[in-house]
Amino acid sequence: MNTGRRITALRAEMEKAGVEAMLVASGVNRRYLSGFTGTSGALLFTPGGQYLLTDFRYMTQAPAQAPDYRVVEHAPEMMDTVKELLAEAGVKRLGFEERHVSYADWASWSKKLAPVELVPLDGLPEKLRVRKDEDEIAVIRQAAKLADAAYAHILHFARPGVTELDLAAELEAFMRKNGASGPTFDTIVASGERSALPHGVAGTRKLQPGEFVTFDFGALYQGYCSDLTRTIVVGEPTDRHREIYGIVLEAQEHALANIRPGMTGREADALTRDVIARYGYGEFFGHGTGHGIGLEIHEAPRLSRHSDAVLEPGMVVTVEPGIYIPGFGGVRIEDDVVITESGIEVLTSSPKAFFATG
């Protein structure tokens, strides 16, 4: 992990924002900028250096994981140590993560650190995380392979009488046994009418013949996420099953064939939405076409009707159109892709040909 390059980029953004120092307290940004995986601590950037402040539990782990930082065991009240380091550096303005600091913390910090001015910075570390480097993409690629393997595994268990919770547990156990630290979110297994719920987390319902089953899950691998969705039919499909599935598949494949750098999130979203609307199912596709993934399962950019974000090489996003019909069921098909100089590379490879299982 080249944290030195990330630190340099952060300092450049700090200069643009007009702050001489910054405190990074959120766990995901702390990991991105330092490599430190502990659950407690903060990063402090001053004109003269960068510090990883943590407690006694991590005083062996932190120096090993974050060699670009001076590791400091902070006082019982961490802000006492921050105040001391800011005073040593003569800092007058301290940036902080606006999205991750509560009002109560801001009020406490303002009082403790006075007369230093606290400057809210909206999404500054997140801005750096939008474009993944080669090391990050390699890890996400492995997370995607784990999800593909888990899907191939679960198809042997998808049969009438098995509960959604049983299938979710089997998926998660398989991923852990094969290198994942866990699922990236609550595993979705939604069958029958429940497959019309875009976020229908697995429940006690048993699979029945002649109905859709949607699997939406991901593997968390070395801190990075994958996100895969496939929909099948248990037993014999009807013509309506085939119609809806075929439309969603056509929409997704059209997007995969045409997404390219320079496109906005809105334009990418239209690639799937226009296909589904053309068949008369536009009202049954209510969410965006996709979202960024990385250290978090939902990151920038968004592929949606409301996104003006421009797609750039190195961004990793999902492409996941769907149709959801209340009282009947729904279909979603999702792959993870990385934006390249000329188009995309699809990271997930699970089969999408419509089939039924008994």
Based on the fold, state whether residues 9 and 108 are members of the same structural domain.
yes
| Secondary structure E strands in 199-293 | 211-217, 219-221, 224-225, 228-234, 290-292
Dist. CA 301–CA 304, nearest whole Å: 9
- Cα 151 versus chain centre, distance: 19
pLDDT of residue 218: 98
Based on the fold, state whether residues 324 and 186 are members of the same structural domain.
yes
Residues of the chain with pLDDT under 70: 355-358
- Tell me which of 128, 159, 175 is where a domain ends: 128
CB 191 within 8 A of CB 208: yes
pLDDT of residue 356: 65
pLDDT of residue 358: 58
Q: Are strands 228-234 and 211-217 parallel, antiparallel or unpaired?
A: antiparallel
- Six-digit token string for 104: 């109560």
Based on the fold, state whether residues 177 and 70 are members of the same structural domain.
no
CB 320 within 8 A of CB 250: no
pLDDT of residue 20: 95
Based on the fold, state whether residues 88 and 151 are members of the same structural domain.
no
- In angstroms, the Cα distances linking 192 to 26, 168, 199, 327, 328 are 39, 16, 14, 9, 7
Dist. CA 43–CA 70, nearest whole Å: 10
pLDDT of residue 305: 96
CATH number at residue 117: 3.40.350.10
CB 214 within 8 A of CB 189: yes
H helices, E strands: number in the chain:
10, 20
Based on the fold, state whether residues 99 and 189 are members of the same structural domain.
no
User: What secondary structure letter does DSSP report for 198?
Assistant: T
| Axis crossing angle, helix 239-258 with helix 265-278, rounded to the nearest 10 | 150
CB 258 within 8 A of CB 296: no
- Tell me which of 128, 153, 182 is where a domain ends: 128
Based on the fold, state whether residues 114 and 30 are members of the same structural domain.
yes
Based on the fold, state whether residues 297 and 175 are members of the same structural domain.
yes
Based on the fold, state whether residues 223 and 118 are members of the same structural domain.
no
Dist. CA 275–CA 266, nearest whole Å: 14
CB 102 within 8 A of CB 75: no
Helix (H) or strand (E) holding 151: helix 134-154
Q: What is the number of domains present in the chain?
A: 2
Based on the fold, state whether residues 256 and 345 are members of the same structural domain.
yes
Based on the fold, state whether residues 110 and 139 are members of the same structural domain.
no
**Which structural domain range is residue 219 located in?**
134-357
Residue carrying structure tokens 């960068």: 50
CATH number at residue 171: 3.90.230.10
Least Cα distance to 133 among 292, 267, 8, 315 occurs for 315
Based on the fold, state whether residues 150 and 210 are members of the same structural domain.
yes
- Six-digit token string for 270: 């239209």
Based on the fold, state whether residues 179 and 301 are members of the same structural domain.
yes
Dist. CA 223–CA 249, nearest whole Å: 30
- Tell me which of 128, 145, 170 is where a domain ends: 128
